[in-house]
Amino acid sequence: MIFGIENETQMHRFLTCPRGAVAVITAFALPVLLGFASLGIEVGHWYLGQRIMQGAADAAAISATAQYIADAIAGNSSSTTYQTVGVSYASLNGYTIPTSNVCLVSSSGNNCSSVLALDSRAIVCASPPCIVVEITQNTAQWLTTRMSLEPSTANLVQSIPGPTIGARAIVSANSQTQTITKEGTDCVLALANDSQAVLVHGNGDLQARCGLAVDGGIDQNVSGTAHGGISFSGSHAKINVSALVVSASSTNCPDSGAHCQQYGSSAALPASAVYTSTATQDPYASMTFPTPPLGVQTGGVAIKTAGAGYTNGTCTFTVNGGTGTSVKFAATITSGKVDTAKPVTVSDPGAYTVFPTNPVTPATSTCGNGTTAATFNLTEGCFTWISGVTPIAGRKYCSINLNGAGTTNFPTGSYYIAGGDSGCQGFCVSSANASVTSDSAGVTFYLTNGDGAKSLGASSYGTMNITSGAISLCAPGTNCGTTCVSGGSCLLFVQGAPAAVLAQHPVPTLTANPNGTTCTACNSFAGNGSRTLSGLIYLPRQAFQLAGNSSIGGCFGVVAKYIDDGGTPTFSDGCLPGNGIGGTTTTTTTWSAPYLYQ
Amino acid sequence: MINAIRRLIECAVGSAVVETAIFVPFFLLFAVGITDLGSVMFAGMTVNAATQAGAAYAIVNSGPSGTCASLSSSCLSGIKTAMSNAAANSSWCTTATCAATITGCADGSPKCITVSVSLPYSPLLPDPAYSWVQSLTTLSSSITVRVL
């Protein structure tokens, strides 16, 4: 019996009675209506929650990236502290996540397996490294979801599983590696580990619109005590430079201005322009000295038979025989014959690996073949270039001795000077009327061992000594200007490593003879004359001695073991590589601001 | 008298009016409540979007030469502009309280940006109707990000 219904008639009436139907319908419909309303509100809440979660993920990822960048800058890019920081900032913004939810995508791989297991969306990281933070939460734990799922506790309605909402943030930490080259400011560098590496004496005044540097480490004493410094002898000795860098503690500079002055001024060089205990690397320490041309030259030519039938005038002969570049020489033809009374001038000494057998006959001449060929005897030997003879690049000479009047222009290329001869030990300009120039594409003079007959012998080493004349030379890369373009060697004179090493300053007894000391194994500028030198003199084993008072134009620089100054030369600002000696190249890695991808 | 009461109870005339009168308050309560929840969620989303936009502005401009290298007035006004743009209301930060701090972080790192927004909200029903779960009179959001 239900609701007092005892038979079929009563049941029929109950079922067909319309009274109270609305209440019944409402009773059935209301839970459904409320359920849908609840679901609508709940879904709205999920979206709100997802937005808040995304904000927290973004904040955590950016914070973790800040830590990653800080670690990378500290050189600890394998640190996993970024994970702790990501977790910490997710927590600070309202969400608790496990450490594995913060992961790193680098160019070599990632540790994001946990993140991908939670959220199968591909991780987009266009430019690694990227930090990924994943926040997920099961909405079933939320109050409203729990309430909406409440019927499930009574098993009246099958519970709908609450979806898991998630937020992922990917932040890129881009780094850029930059190489910054700091240009050097020096144009004079002494390499000796000696307190007299730079010595100024007498009335010497070394003036340089650039820095003067002394490196105490070049002569294999890098692990010992650096002594490199500058010394003054005499109350008038001084320098006028823009800066001074010494490898030891500098005892003589700065001072009250008696010896150390600013360039172009008599004011004392300020302490801020003096760098002590600072080594300056030899910018050419790793340079490879080129191999001088092999073979021997023709030291002289003698006429053996005069021949006949040549055109009168000055005739240039090239001879048969031998292996290598043939000798060329000029002779005077008189009455169809080679004039034995006139000198024969060698214009190209050639370079023979097998010297021709004397007597030689001309292969070609500029005055016909003659009816009877002249013959010559060649002397194997060392050739001296003198004023008025056009130099040929790529050849080796005993010396270049420009001791006469006239212009000598050096065509572009390299010139090798082997040891010198009795007239000149290497490269000499000693005539006031000599004019020496070079092509603007530049020349380099390599000072090497002596060899062959007539030279000073194998132990002799070429030096350069300029005492007068008008000189305008340019090194490759300078274009005779005031800068050293990238890729140019900018070397004008280079002395090879086998050169005799000076063990001490070439002027050791200063008190005895402070001014007039003859310097052996010295390269020097002395006397007066017009000097424009665009390029560097590199004498890593010997001394460079400055006397006279000529200013040096161009962008001249000197790297020498010792520098001795008794004159008043003026250096312009150097056009050396990196605009000077003492430049540094540093590689720095800079990080971009964290960039939010997703 | 008893008969009169009995007739009144049994009389079906006007019963719909009575039922409606009983049902309407509940229905209105329900409808207004749903409206309230919807609009509070919209307001909450706006508050959250504004906070995130403000934080994004501060992070992007937190470089050494950026306006938010430290908390300058131009930084704060930029943050507020970003917030107002996100809320699509140029005077949004006059209704809401928009605030930011740039200080050292709690974990010792040098620079943290905290951006927070607080918006007063008046629900259609009195707050006690909701406050048994969560008070709706103030909607707030805050984000803390470490940038160094």
List all residues 6 or more positions away from A44 whose beta carbon is below 8 Å from its beta carbon.
B37, B38, B41
Residue A595's pLDDT is: 58
Angstrom distance (rounded) from CA A29 to CA A21: 12
Touching check for B59 and chain A: CB below 8 Å? Answer: yes
Counting one residue from A and one from B, how many pairs have CB atoms under 8 Å apart?
75
Residue A411 is classified by DSSP as P
Question: Residue A305 is which amino acid?
Answer: T
The per-residue pLDDT for B3 is: 85
Under the banding of pLDDT at 50, 70 and 90, the label for residue B46 is: very high
DSSP symbol at B119: E
Over range B37-62, report the average pLDDT.
91
What is the distance in angstroms between the Cα of A22 and the nearest Cα belonging to chain B?
A: 9
**CB contact, 8 Å: B133 with chain A?**
yes
Tell if the CB–CB gap between A40 and B34 is shorter than 8 Å: yes
Of A56, A70, A143, nearest to B133 by CB-CB distance is A143
How would you class A234 by CB atoms within 10 Å of its CB: exposed for 0-12, middle for 13-18, buried for 19 or more? Answer: middle
- Checking ipTM against 0.90, whether it exceeds it is no
- Which of B60, B109, B141 minimises the CB distance to A593? B60
User: In chain A, what is the greatest distance between 2 CA atoms, to the nearest angstrom?
Assistant: 167
Contact call for A47 and B45, based on CB within 8 A: yes
Establish if B49 touches chain A: CB-CB under 8 angstroms.
yes
pLDDT at residue A514 in the model? 39
Task: Express each pLDDT in B112-134 by its tens digit.
Answer: 999 999 999 999 888 888 888 78
Put simply, whether A188 touches B (Cβ < 8 Å) is: no
Task: Tell me the C-alpha distance between A409 and A414, whole Å.
Answer: 13
Q: What does the DSSP assignment read for A434-451?
A: EEEEE-TT-EEEEEEB--
Whether residue B36 is predicted with pLDDT greater than 60 in this model: the reply is yes
Contact A409, A474 (CB under 8 A): no
pLDDT score recorded for residue A548: 79
The pLDDT of residue A456:
67
Chain A stretch 536-595, residues whose beta carbon is closer than 8 A to a beta carbon of chain B: 593-594
- Identify all chain A residues contacting B19, using CB atoms and an 8 Å cutoff: 22
Single out the residue of A62, A14, A413 nearest to residue B59, CA to CA.
A62
Range name among A104-113, A170-179, B32-41, B89-98 with the lowest pLDDT average: A170-179
Q: Does B39 touch chain A (CB under 8 A)?
A: no
- What residue type is A515 in one-letter code? N
Instruction: Say which amino acid occupies A115.
Output: V
What does each of the 598 residues of chain A score in pLDDT, given as a tens digit?
566 677 888 888 888 877 777 778 888 888 888 888 878 888 888 888 899 999 999 999 999 998 998 888 888 888 999 999 999 999 999 999 999 999 999 988 899 999 999 888 899 888 888 999 999 988 776 666 666 555 555 555 555 566 788 999 998 887 777 777 766 778 888 888 888 888 888 888 888 888 888 887 655 455 677 888 888 888 888 899 888 888 888 888 888 888 999 888 888 988 888 888 887 878 787 778 887 777 777 778 888 888 888 888 888 888 888 888 888 888 888 888 888 888 888 888 888 888 888 888 888 888 888 788 888 888 887 788 887 777 888 888 888 888 888 888 899 999 888 878 878 888 888 888 888 889 888 899 988 877 655 566 667 778 888 888 888 888 888 888 777 776 778 888 988 765 555 555 554 433 333 344 455 557 888 878 788 888 888 888 888 888 877 778 777 888 888 888 888 888 876 666 655 677 666 777 777 666 555 4
- Is the preceding peptide bond at A359 cis, omega within 30 degrees of 0? yes
Chain B residues within 8 A of A44 when measuring between CB atoms: 37-38, 41
CB contact under 8 A, A70 and B148: yes
- Quote the CA–CA distance of B93 and B89 in Å, as a whole number: 9
Tell whether B19 is within 8 A of chain A (Cβ). Answer: yes
- Percent of chain B scoring above 70 in pLDDT: 100
Cα-trace Rg, chain B? 26
Q: In chain B, what residues touch A593 (CB-CB under 8 Å)?
A: 59-60, 62-63
Judged by CB atoms closer than 8 Å, whether chains meet at A51 and B45 is answered as: yes
**Rounded distance, CA B108 to CA B70, Å?**
17
CA–CA distance, A369 with A307 (Å, rounded to integer)? 10
Chain A touched by B124 (CB under 8 Å): no
Instruction: Say what the pLDDT of residue A507 is.
Output: 47
Task: Tell me whether A57 touches chain B (CB under 8 Å).
Answer: no
Percent of chain B with pLDDT over 90: 42
Q: Does B37 touch chain A (CB under 8 A)?
A: yes
CB neighbours of residue B95 within 10 Å:
11
C-alpha B2 chain-centroid distance: 56
Of the partner residues A48, A66, A88, the one whose CB lies closest to the CB of residue B44: A48
CB–CB of A248/A276 below 8 Å?
yes
With b for 16 or more beta-carbon neighbours within 10 A and e for fewer, the A461-473 pattern comes to: bbbbbbbbbbbbb
**Where are the domains positioned within chain B?**
10-146
Sign of the CA dihedral with A492 first, then A493, A496, and A497 last: negative
**Which residue among B52, B62, B146 places its CB closest to the CB of A85?**
B146
Q: What is the 3-state secondary structure (H, E, C) of B90-113?
A: CCHHHHCEEEEEEECCCCCCCCEE
Q: What confidence tier does B61 reach under pLDDT thresholds 50, 70, 90?
A: confident
The answer to whether B17 contacts chain A (CB < 8 Å) is: no
Tokens of A127: 């430019």
Task: Please give the full DSSP string across A241-278, using - where no structure is assigned.
Answer: EEEEEESS--SSSS-SSSSEEETTSSSBPPGGGEE-S-
Specify the length of chain A in residues: 598
Chain A nearest C-alpha distance from B144 (Å): 7
List CB contacts (< 8 A) between A63 and chain B: 145-147
A460: tokens are: 């002799």
A415, A499, A506: which is closest to A461 by C-alpha? A499
Chain B contact probe: residue of A65, A79, A92 with most B CBs at under 10 A: A92
Q: What stretches of A269-412 adopt beta strand conformation (E)?
A: 274-275, 297-305, 313-319, 323-325, 328-334, 337-338, 345-348, 351-354, 362-365, 375-381, 384-386, 396-397, 399-402, 406-410
- The neighbouring-strand residues paired with A189 are A213, A559
Q: Which of residues 81-120 of B touch A (CB under 8 A)?
A: 106-107, 109
Which pTM does this prediction carry? 0.59
Give A522 to chain B, closest Cα distance, Å: 55
Higher pLDDT pick, A177 / B70: B70
Query: Cis ω on the peptide bond leading into residue A129 (within 30° of 0)?
Result: yes
Q: Say which of B19, B48, B59 has its CB closest to residue A51.
A: B48
Locate A130 and state its tokens.
């990227």
Chain A residue with minimum CA distance to B60: A593
How far CA A9 is from CA of A1, A5, A12, A49, B114, in Å, comes to 13, 9, 5, 58, 77
B138 touches chain A (CB under 8 A): no
Cβ <8 Å between A594 and B59 = yes
Question: What is the number of residues in chain B?
Answer: 148
Residues 6 or more apart whose Cβ sits within 8 Å of residue A122: none
Of B133, B143, B147, the CB nearest to A55: B143
Q: Do the chains contact at A66 and B148, CB–CB below 8 Å?
A: yes
Does A596 contact chain B (CB < 8 Å)?
yes
| Amino acid at position B70, single letter | S
Establish if A354 touches chain B: CB-CB under 8 angstroms.
Answer: no
Which pLDDT does position A501 carry in this prediction? 53
Q: Say if residue A344 is exposed, middle or buried (CB neighbours under 10 Å; 0-12, 13-18, 19+).
A: middle
pLDDT for res A530: 82
Closest CA to A418 of A467, A444, A469, A454: A454
Bridge partners, A65 (sequence order)? none
CB A538 within 8 A of CB A175: no
pLDDT at A265: 86
CB contact set of A200 (below 8 Å; sequence gap of 6+): A206, A230, A231, A232, A233, A237, A238, A239, A259, A565, A566
Torsion over CA: A538, A540, A542, A548 (sign): positive
